[in-house]
Each structure stands twice: as structure tokens, then as C-alpha cells.
Chains A and B, each alone.
Chain A
Amino acid sequence: MEQPLTKNIITGKTLSLKEYEQAGGYAALRKVLKNNAPQEVQQMVKDSGLKGRGGAGFSTGIKWSFVPMDEDARHPKYLICNADEMEPGTFKDRLLLEGNPHQLLEGMILAAYAIKADISYVFLRWAYRKAAEIMEKSISDAYAAGYLGKNILGTGWNLEMYLHTGVGRYICGEETALLNALEGKRATPRAKPPFPQVSGLYGKPTIVNNVETLCCLPHIINNGAAWFKSLSASEDSGTKLYGVSGKVKRPGVWELPLGTTMREIIEEYAGGMANGYRLKGVLPGGASTDFLTEQHLDIKMDYASVAAAGSRLGTGTMIIMDDATCPIGFVHNLQHFFAQESCGWCTPCREGLPWVEKILLGLEKGKGSTEDIELLQMHTQYLGPGNTYCALAPGAMEPLQSALKYFKDDFVEHIEKHKCPYEV
């Protein structure tokens, strides 16, 4: 089984520039700069079927193709790496950032070349202190080695790269809010259209890609689209970093073929449930995805299959809810997070989420009523996609709506017994 993204990563260690080069690093960049026009790179990536690993799963090549490429396109153009990773239960990008920084840098430089960007940013969340140090050093090493800066590898193409560390707020991960944060503004999302590809950072054409997405690029260039497709165990191409957290024997993150089954990941890689616990529910791809349950264990973890099961692949990092954890408390914790992280711009999100949070707290403490369930249901309907300004609130509703579906009995029990049955 090939694990192109992680094969050189050794836990606790960081691959240096030299080690990366020895392992074949920056060959893709050299090859492309020598042989290919930017549009050809776009085509290769389009052909590879790479989909964004940041959560939305949109085709990377198609996303790039909206960037104006003609002579009089507005410059500077920007390429931004979204390393904000703040979705609860998600911890995959950290591994790539800390383990093999130059793989990411090479991916970024390739992406920047493909859209003829002039400036690139790594938008890194504050809490990743170690990653920040590593990125800082790696960027300066890459400058020193001529992979960044003026006249890269003698081609006459220039690219600057900066590291920006955030000051909190989950919403910064939303790509347009991220742009506002980079501009030194409040990180409220922007209206789309216009999309960042035409009017992004400082109003200039911009691409935002996830860390994992960008890390795939050198390998696609080196080995070709067909190879990339062959890595997968499903319709989708490539490998995916899957993670498992919660009460399992060996929580962690692994690079596996896209489409590995949920059962395999949980039972084999994560070692199955910890002793004494049973699996009650799984959020398959981070806090803003719908619950799946035991009955779904055999689905393939790819975009289409998870969607068919009624959830989303999201970030591919699963959060396990065990049978000793109160589902109401669990969902309340999530809604507390989302309410707290709403940017405060649009009404449904700003006012709806705190209401949901309060209802859930009441229910959890045994003070709820059946009307509360109706109110929750109402919110899941009205905070859906398109009704709010960005995807935060709809994301928040996913675990709630599925909890109401799968764990209805728990809600009823809380109401009828006037207390939390999980409390010991």
C-alpha cells in the first residue's frame, strides 16, 4: 500500500530540506518549471481527479481554472495554504506540517505556478506553535535553496511566501473569512460570488487550498494522474489521511486509500473500541458532519459513499461517540462550540445557535420538553445550506439533525425522566 504523503514522516521528527531532497523532493517542481506551462499543470491536476481535502471536496483543478490567466489579469495573484485546522476532532494537517514541511512547500509552489501567483501565504492557526517554528525555518531554507524568491530555479518566475499565524476564531478557516483575517480585518466571511479566484485577497485573484490537498501535488506531478487514481479504493483519486479520536484503543491518523471502509479504519487501525465501551455514533469527518452509526461501519470512506449514507466525508477525521457518553451532552458541546465561533454577521447563525445551545443544555439537565425537540428540528431546517451567509451554521446543524434522528430515544428519555440517564 502506497502512502505517498506520509511515507517519509517519522513521528516526532521533521524532514529537513536535505532529507526531503534526498527522498526525491522538489523534483516535481524542477520538472514542471522546465517542461510545463502553468495551464498544463492545471490540466494534470484536473486529470488526476484530486478533490479538496479541506472539507468541501471540490475538484482542485476545476477550482484553479476560474483564475484569470490572460496577460492582463490583475496582479499580484495569491496562493494561500489553509492550515487553520480548527474543526473539532481534526488533527491531520498538523502531521503533514510538522512531519514533512517541504512537501507542503513544494505543493504550494506548484499550485502557485499553476495559477501564476506572485505571493503565497501559509495561514496557520495559533495553537500550532511547533508547526509555526518548522514552517518559519522551512520557508527560509526554501528561499536559500532558490525554490522561493526571485527568479526561481533560473526561470525568471518570482514567488514570495509568508507565514501568517492566526489569533483564534474557527471561522478563519472558512476561505473568505480567512482572506479578511489576512487583510487585518474582522474575519467575517465574504459574499460569493465573486469567488476568491477572481476577487480574493486584497481584491486580487486568489486560490485557497487545504494543506493535505497541496501535499498531494508533488506526487501527482511525479507519478501522473493514472497513478494517483490507482491509489484509491473508490471512484475518488488518491489517498486520504483518516483519523480516529474518542474511546478507541489506538487513536491516531493514517494515510490510506480513499474509500477504505470505516470498519477497517476503526477496528484495524484504531484497534477497535476501548475496553468496556461500545460504539454508539461516529462523526465521520469532523464536528460539522452528520452522525453515522454501527449500521454504517461497512461504508467506504469516500465522498460519494459517505454522502449516500447521509453524511459527509468532511476532513476524514472521525470522532467516536461511545455508549457511556450522553448524546445530548455530546451535541451540546458541539453546539456550544459553533455558537461561540459564529462570527456574528448573519442572523440565523448568530441568534439561532445560542438558542440551540440553551435548549440542549436544558434537555441535558433534564429540564427539556417536547416543544424543545420541535424547536431543535426547526433550527436544523432553517439553518440549512443557503439560508445562512456561510457554511458554519449549516455545518453545525449536521450533527444535531442526525442526533435527533438516531438518538431520539435519548432525547425522549431525558425529557420523561427529567434527568440525564448517563449521569452517574
Chain B
Amino acid sequence: MREPNFILEQKHSDHAEAMEIRSTNMEKKELLTEIEMRAIDHEVSLVPYKKAAVIEALKIVQKQRRWISDASIDAIANYLEMSAAEVDSVATFYNLIFRKPVGKHVILLCDSISCYVMGYGKIYQALQRQLNIQFGQTTKDDLFTLLPNVCLGCCDHAPAMMIDEDLFEDVKEDQLEKILETYK
């Protein structure tokens, strides 16, 4: 497996027993859903080459499946006529493409400078206590994954965090319980 980092740029390494064959057309089993394909088709229509839509395709598939599995990589690769390596090269570069499973809700806690000054550390500690997980981990009930994130662009309301697509500003420790409750 590649060097452990946060789960963002990682994936499971299944060390599949590799067959000693050289072939160009390996059969790909995993398929994209109709919804995914239609959305990807639209993105493809806007770019000069199919593969230029790969980031959009990753976003589309992640939206449907929470994260990008090896099988999803293969499916996207197949659909965009790319190799799995090429898709994964892009997928593992960007930190918001999840190459390992994440919980139902992803908490992105800003750990950049303004939030640092304004005490994101306390929020992190509180989250650790309440969820019993650290950065890069997912709660046992698969509900929350906690990740650090770079500046969310609301430094005048630090500390800040995002849960899925919702932004929380001026976060106080004692509000956390209530906030988390709404996602349960």
C-alpha cells in the first residue's frame, strides 16, 4: 500500500494475485449506473476529449457512492476510455476524492491559520470526545468521518467547519452536540 496519509489520497491495497499476462483489453465488470452515465455524458459533451471529463466523472460517482472504490475507478476508466492507472493518478492527487470508504457524513474541520489562532484545537478535541474518533477515522456506526481541511474561506468567522455541504461558522464547543444531532 502506498504511504499512509489521511484517507483522502488513499485506497485499499488488495494485493490481488496478479496473473502473469500482458493483455490490453481486460474485461471490466463494474458498471456505472444510468444516472451516473447520463451525468458523465453531459460533462463529456462540454470538453474536447473524453478524458478531460475525468474529474467531473469522479465527482459524479462519488456523489452517488460516497467514495471511489477500485471498482469505481475501473468503471470510470472503462467509460472514458482511459486506463485505471490514469484515472487513479488523478483521483489520488485531489484530497476531496475519497479513495477509502467514508461515513455517511463527512466533517471537514478547518485547521488553517485563522482557525488555528481562534482555537480550532478545542473544537477538534471536543469532536474527538464526542465521536470517539480522530482525524482520518470513521465512527463505528459509519455515520461520521472526521477530516482536517484547509482554510474554508470564512476566516472572519473562525473557527469553521463543514459537514457535507453545510458550513458552520464561529463554532463553539458547546454547540457541537446539537449540530451533530441533526445529522443522526
Binding site for B on A (CB under 8 A): 85-91, 93-94, 125-130, 162, 165-170, 181-187, 202, 243-247, 251-253, 283, 287, 317, 319-322, 325, 329-330, 333-334, 336-337, 340-341, 343
Contact = CB atoms under 8 A, between A and B. Distances in A.
Contacts of B156: 91, 243-245, 251-253
Interface in B105-162: 108, 111-114, 116-118, 149-158, 162
Given A319-B117, A333-B111, A337-B113, A88 B55 contact: no
B96 interface: yes
B94 interface: yes
A167 B158 contact: no
A7 B66 CA distance: 41
Contact of B112 (A89, A94, A165): A89
B59 A167 contact: yes
Q: Give the most central of A125, A126, A202: most B CB within 10 Å.
A: A126
7 shortest A-B CB distances, which residue pairs? A245-B155, A251-B156, A168-B96, A88-B112, A168-B95, A88-B151, A167-B94
Contact of A168 (B54, B94, B154, B157): B94
A121 B104 CA distance: 31
Contact of A246 (B95, B111, B114): B114
A166 B94 CA distance: 9
Contact of B113 (A187, A330, A340): A330
Chain B interface size, as a band, is: 35 or more
Contact of A245 (B52, B53, B114): B114
A287 B94 CA distance: 21
A169 B95 contact: yes
B176 interface: no
Contacts of A319: 113-114, 117, 155
Contacts of A330: 113, 116-117
Contact of B116 (A167, A187, A320, A333): A333
A9 to B, nearest CB: 15
A87 B114 CA distance: 11
Given A91-B153, A94-B154, A243-B155, A167 B54 contact: no
Contacts of A94: 153-154
A85 B117 CA distance: 20
Nearest to B165: A129
Contacts of B93: 169, 186-187, 343
Contact of B153 (A127, A181, A341): A127
B26 interface: no
Contacts of A247: 117-118
Given A167-B59, A181-B55, A287-B112, A321 B117 contact: yes
Q: Give the most central of B48, B112, B113, B158: most A CB within 10 Å.
A: B113
A129 B155 contact: no
Given A86-B151, A87-B151, A129-B165, 5 more contacts: A89-B112, A127-B167, A169-B93, A169-B94, A251-B156
Given A184-B51, A186-B93, A321-B117, A89 B59 contact: no
Contact of B46 (A162, A246, A251): A162
Given A245-B158, A246-B118, A337 B112 contact: yes
A325 to B, nearest CB: 6
B47 interface: yes
Contacts of A341: 150
A417 B52 CA distance: 55
Given A89-B155, A245-B114, A185 B90 contact: yes
A337 B54 CA distance: 27
A128 B55 CA distance: 17
Nearest to B5: A340
Interface in B75-112: 89-90, 93-97, 108, 111-112
